[in-house]
Amino acid sequence: MALEIYTLKEGPKMENVAVKNRLSLLRAKMAEYGIDYYMMPTSDFHNSEYAADFFKAREYFTGFTGSNGTVVISKDWAGLWTDGRYFIQAEKEIEGTGVTLYRMGNEGVPTLNEYLKDNMKDGQVLGFDGRVIATAIGLGIEKALKDKKVSFSYERDLADEVWTDRPALPCHEIYKLKEELFGKSFKEKLADVRKKMEEYKCDSHLLSKLDDITWLTNLRGNDVECNPVALSYAFITLDEFHFFVQEAELTDEIKAYCKDNDITVHDYHEVMEFLKNRKYTGNILVDKNNINYSTYRTLLDAAGKDKLVYNDNPTELMKAIKNDTEMKNIREVYIRDSAKLCEFMYWVKTNVGKIPMDEYSAAMKLDSMRAELPGFIELSFPTISAYGPNAAMMHYEATKEDHAEVKPEGMLLVDSGGTYEGGTTDVTRTIVVGPISDEVKKHYTGTCLGMLHLANAKFLKGCTGRNLDILARQPLWAMDIDYKCGTGHGIGYMLNVHEGPHNIRWQYREGLKEYELVPGMIVSDEPGVYKEGSHGIRIENIIEVVEGNKNDDGQFLGFEHLTYAPIDLEAIDTQYMQQGDIDLLNEYHKAVFEKVSPLIKDQAIVDWLKEQTRPISK
């Protein structure tokens, strides 16, 4: 096949020459290796949410920078699948690349598997790097294509052959935080995991999700943006613990810690050989959703199908249920983080229109304020600072080069958080910076009601997020508005800002496993309104699950807020609120002032906060 080289042409729609040329080169490689469709998701070898630059092949070949998306490329077509958070952003970023956007979940849009099923022909080859494909996804594709005579080529990373200036694999030193921050030692956690392995009748277990390994070992790393994790694998048996990391990441302190804890260290790149050569006597516990397809195929070949036990990765649920030490630290960290956010909100509101302010400079201001807090480690994700219509893009990121000016009108949405010694935070406030329309007030009030209704839910033990999601959505659904994302996600402890296994989402998928909400879990509560081209609103509090009363009817549960920052009363329209709603808002604001004001030194800000949290009435 001839290699088409694109050069810039003038026209109504700008061509993205760079991306088109990359795709051309990739297509040449596909032809060379007899690959008809080549797939690149957004993943590292560990299904991490944030892939390091080394892993951003999908971005390199499409231009789309969002955190979720999969591109599939054929000789004469390329399609990008992404979710509702990114529809607007993706459309903008792939303009002129020739890549077609497939809006996941929208009516009439085929899933990636459906597309492959409908379009691949007998005898064709689907290629992908099996290390960046989660096993569950690989198995899903196998299932979708089972009636076709299609073969998989999963051992070649084609991107690597085209991408000449590819960044290096991340490699940063692993570190330890104070042991008293954890509430539970590595050895205690490992004993719990082994107990679960025995329950599942397994004598070994491959763990490859980075935050799980990080949580279990009580170590921290720096190989993924905003996630304090190290590229690693762990292979656990009932009496061994094999830890695969890049040797350059190990300091003497960490080596000593490993030795003290009977951790056998191997080089990161030796994991496949290790898995291939090991003699497996008993069953191996694997989490299909998190080990990669290459690892899975290696285990399958080495141990045989019958020895693989697919079940939950027990670490995931243990990690989600915070212990008392963790919860105590988290509560304190959230109040400190909330106080800092209040100071930032004051800064925005008092300075807008008076000093130069743009989305990026506002984000930088907040980031630098957070960095002043004691025990600050890093941001928990790149701060989202989105003004006006930009806020309608759920995961918009303003950059130094590309950002909007913040003017004294409309609203600025700021979604941000930090990882500190003592916890990881996540919070969104949409700040009124000038006149707003009645429609915007209506939408803001609906969003606020959704957040408050969920946070004030009383529910029976046994409920999962699917039972509760509607409480956050109902005020907006009643306005014929939906937000195309989940309502809530779990949050790590000095770890990833998004973690499972629980969440607050409503949509049904056959066979979807749900996890009940139990005390010690923390979860975000973040309804929103996103009106393309007009405005975006999100209010996000983090809430913890707490015990309520217990009686013959069962154990009742509820939530308590962890986040304490004012709801913008300038955007509240009480005509959409019941008296009970007003009471909830006033109670919350009373608590905000009581908890946060003692941490604020500047009396002007305390006065402002008092005003921002004043009780309102109809």
Interface residues with a second copy (CB under 8 A)? 107, 457-460, 462-464, 466-471, 473-474, 477-478, 480-482, 484, 506-508, 510-511, 513-514, 516, 548-549, 551, 553-554, 556, 578-581
Characterize the bridge pairing of strands 125-127 and 37-40.
parallel
CA–CA separation, 24 vs 290, rounded Å? 32
Residues pairing with 555 in the sheet: 550
At 154 the three-state DSSP class reads coil
Residues 227 and 198: beta-carbon distance below 8 Å? no
* Tokens matching residue 322: 């915070």
The smaller minimum CB distance to a second copy, of residues 76 and 553, is found at 553
Query: Are the C-beta atoms of residues 64 and 58 closer than 8 Å to each other?
Result: yes
End-to-end alpha-carbon separation of the chain, Å? 71
Query: How many angstroms separate the CA atoms of 182 and 319, rounded?
Result: 11
Residue number, 56 or 196, with CB nearest to a second copy: 196
- The smaller minimum CB distance to a second copy, of residues 87 and 608, is found at 87
Residue 244 CA: distances (Å) to CA of 206, 213, 252, 494: 11, 10, 16, 22
d(CA 487, CA 10): 43
Distance CA(499)–CA(513), nearest Å, equals 15
Least Å distance, CB 470 to a second copy, is 5
- Return the number of the residue (185 or 579) whose C-beta is nearest a second copy: 579
> Nearer to a second copy by C-beta: 265 or 470?
470
- Cβ of residue 473: shortest distance to a second copy, in angstroms? 8
**Minimum CB–partner distance for residue 140 and a second copy (Å):** 17
CB 511, min distance to a second copy, A: 6
Smallest gap from Cβ 502 to a second copy, in A, equals 12
Q: Which is nearer to a second copy, 24 or 474 (CB)?
A: 474
Min CB(549)–a second copy separation in Å: 5
Q: Which helix (H) or strand (E) holds 99?
A: none
Instruction: Tell me the C-alpha to C-alpha distance, in Å, between residue 258 and each of 73, 176, 237, 254.
Output: 44, 11, 16, 6
Residue 365 or 466 with smaller CB distance to a second copy: 466
Distance between CA atoms of residues 264 and 190, nearest Å: 14
Q: Looking at residue 534, what DSSP letter applies?
A: T
Least distance between a second copy and beta carbon 463 (Å): 7
Give me the phi and psi of 439, to 5 degrees please.
Answer: -65, -45
Report d(CA 618, CA 614) in Å as an integer.
13
Are 90 and 101 in contact by the 8 Å Cβ rule? The answer is yes
- How many angstroms separate the CA atoms of 58 and 44, rounded? 11
Of 400 and 550, nearer to a second copy (C-beta) is 550
DSSP 552: T
Preceding amide of 228 cis, omega within 30: no
CA–CA gap between residue 188 and residue 351 (Å, rounded): 51
CB 208 within 8 A of CB 288: no
Nearer to a second copy, 7 or 508 (CB): 508
Number of neighbours of residue 444 by Cβ within 10 angstroms: 26
Q: For a second copy, which is the closer residue by CB, 361 or 467? A: 467
Sign of CA dihedral 47, 51, 55, 57: positive
Residue with Cβ nearer a second copy (292 or 464): 464
Q: Rounded to the nearest whole angstrom, what is the least distance from the CB of residue 387 to a second copy in the complex?
A: 22
CB of 548 to a second copy, least distance (A): 7
Least distance between a second copy and beta carbon 72 (Å): 25
Minimum separation from the CB atom of position 509 to a second copy (A): 10
CA distances, 563 to each of 21, 264, 339 (Å): 47, 40, 10
Q: How far apart are CA 543 and CA 88, in angstroms?
A: 29
CB-nearer residue toward a second copy: 295 or 313: 313
* SS3 assignment for 566-588: CCCHHHCCHHHCCHHHHHHHHHH
Tokens of 496: 């990833």
Report how far Cα 234 is from the mean position of its chain's Cα atoms. 22
Nearest distance in Å: CB 141, a second copy = 21
Residue nearer to a second copy on the CB measure, 376 or 556 = 556
Nearer residue to a second copy within complex by CB, 274 or 556: 556
Quote the least distance from Cβ 174 to a second copy, whole Å.
37
Token couple for 105? 């979940």
Give min distance, CB of 385 to a second copy, in A. Answer: 25
